[in-house]
Chain A
Amino acid sequence: MIVRFFHQMGSPRYFYGVAGKLIPWFMVSFLITLVLGLYYGLFVAPPDYQQGESYRIMYIHVPAAWMSMFIYVVMAVSGLISLVWRIKMTEVVVISSATVGASFTFLALATGSLWGKPMWGSWWVWDARLTSELLLLFLYLGIIALHSAIEDKRVAARAVSILALVGVVNIPIIHYSVEWWNTLHQPASITKFGKPSMDMSMLVPLLTMAISFKLYYGAVVLMRARAEIVERERNARWVQELVQEEAK
């Protein structure tokens, strides 16, 4: 059964259809969890004893940062699958995730700096996590730039898969060296920027937001994949029929 699934998923037409059916489900569940997360995050969760209300930016910043990492790993894994088993559809997933990943990384950076301003008094602090996030953004932009530079989309997708793999191998090294570099110049006593040990009322909204961002990613990557498939298979017969159907 699994083999049949893989074989079927390999055919663009089948993937296009399945993606079309899945997107509404992803979107609806994303909206529900988003509303829940925001409601609990903004209204129910108590203000932080130190940062007061400004910590609520965490409900966007932390899930976005998690997503930026998560999407890069998904890109690397689907890149590996597309290189090893030559499945066309995983190639499409790689490039469809790049822009979303870059947007989440940018969002994490922007909200990080907006959160840092009241807390540390400056828009940008060379904190280890923010710096690694910035380098991750450059890795994403490299992938997007490489994909748009290569005309033949099949070659582009496989080149991008290799770059994603090289990137994912380097991310822990970059992160470790930035941590090392960060502890050299700043006293270790700087306030921990990560998740302080939170009680449930703060943690639950955070996890709901994280889940809603993942559902959002599911919907968007499938949307982009459908657009990419139609563009790649433009002269395939099933696309022509599809277009005629819609034209009627």
Chain B
Amino acid sequence: MSEFFAMGGYAAYVWPSFLLAAIILVANIVAPLQQHKRVLTEIARKLRRARKEQS
């Protein structure tokens, strides 16, 4: 199994590129979800404040 990880001696190039790909793919999923949640909570907070002023 360790021979597989050695990647024929090119491990130092193959694995970082796969790692970088993983990081970029995950980041591009997390970022929009966070932005979405942030906007929703922002709107919720504004709503609550608006309702408090009316009552």
* Complex Cα spacing A117 to B7, Å: 15
Q: Would you call B17 and A53 a contact (CB within 8 A)?
A: no
B32:A54 contact, CB within 8 angstroms:
no
Most buried by B among A61, A110, A219, A227: A227
> A191-228 interface mask toward B, CB cutoff 8 Å, 1 = contact, 0 = none?
00000000000000000000000001001100110110
Tell me which residues across on chain A come within 8 A of B27, comparing CB atoms.
Answer: 103
The verdict on A161 contacting chain B, using a C-beta distance below 8 Å, is no
Count of A interface residues, CB-CB < 8 Å: 40
Q: Which of A43, A56, A103, A246 contacts B24 (CB 8 A)?
A: A103
In the assembled complex, which residues on chain B have CB atoms less than 8 Å from the CB atom of A52? 8-10
- Give the docked Cα–Cα distance between A54 and B29 (Å): 28
Q: Is the interface of A mostly helix, strand, loop or mixed?
A: helix
- 9-residue interface stretch from A4-12, A134-142, A178-186, A236-244: A236-244
Q: CA of A244 to CA of B47 in the docked complex: distance in angstroms?
A: 8
Tell me whether B47 and A230 are in contact (CB under 8 A).
no
Option from B20, B28, B32 in Cβ contact (under 8 Å) with A111: B20
Q: Which residue of B lies closest to A239 (CB)?
A: B43
Q: How far is the CA of A57 from the CA of B43 in the complex (A)?
A: 44
How many chain B residues touch the partner (CB < 8 A)? 28
A-contact bits for B10-41, CB 8 A (1 contact / 0 none)? 10011011101100110111011101100110
A176-B30 Cα distance, complex, nearest whole Å: 37
Name B7's contact: one of A56, A103, A224, A226 (CB within 8 Å): A56
Which A residues are CB-close (under 8 A) to B16? 114
Q: A240-B47, A243-B43, A244-B47 are in contact. Are A115 and B17 (CB under 8 A)?
A: yes
Q: In chain A between 31 and 71, which residues have their CB closer than 8 angstroms to a CB of chain B?
A: 43, 47, 52-54, 56-57, 60-61, 64
List A residues at the B interface (Cβ < 8 Å).
43, 47, 52-54, 56-57, 60-61, 64, 96, 99-100, 103-104, 106-107, 110-111, 114-115, 117-118, 216, 219-220, 223-224, 226-227, 230-231, 234, 239-240, 242-244, 246-247
Given contacts A47-B8, A103-B28, A219-B29, 12 further A-B contacts (CB under 8 A): A56-B14, A99-B31, A103-B24, A114-B20, A220-B29, A224-B32, A227-B36, A231-B35, A231-B39, A243-B44, A244-B44, A246-B40
Residues of B bordering A, CB below 8 Å: 4, 7-10, 13-14, 16-18, 20-21, 24-25, 27-29, 31-33, 35-36, 39-40, 42-44, 47
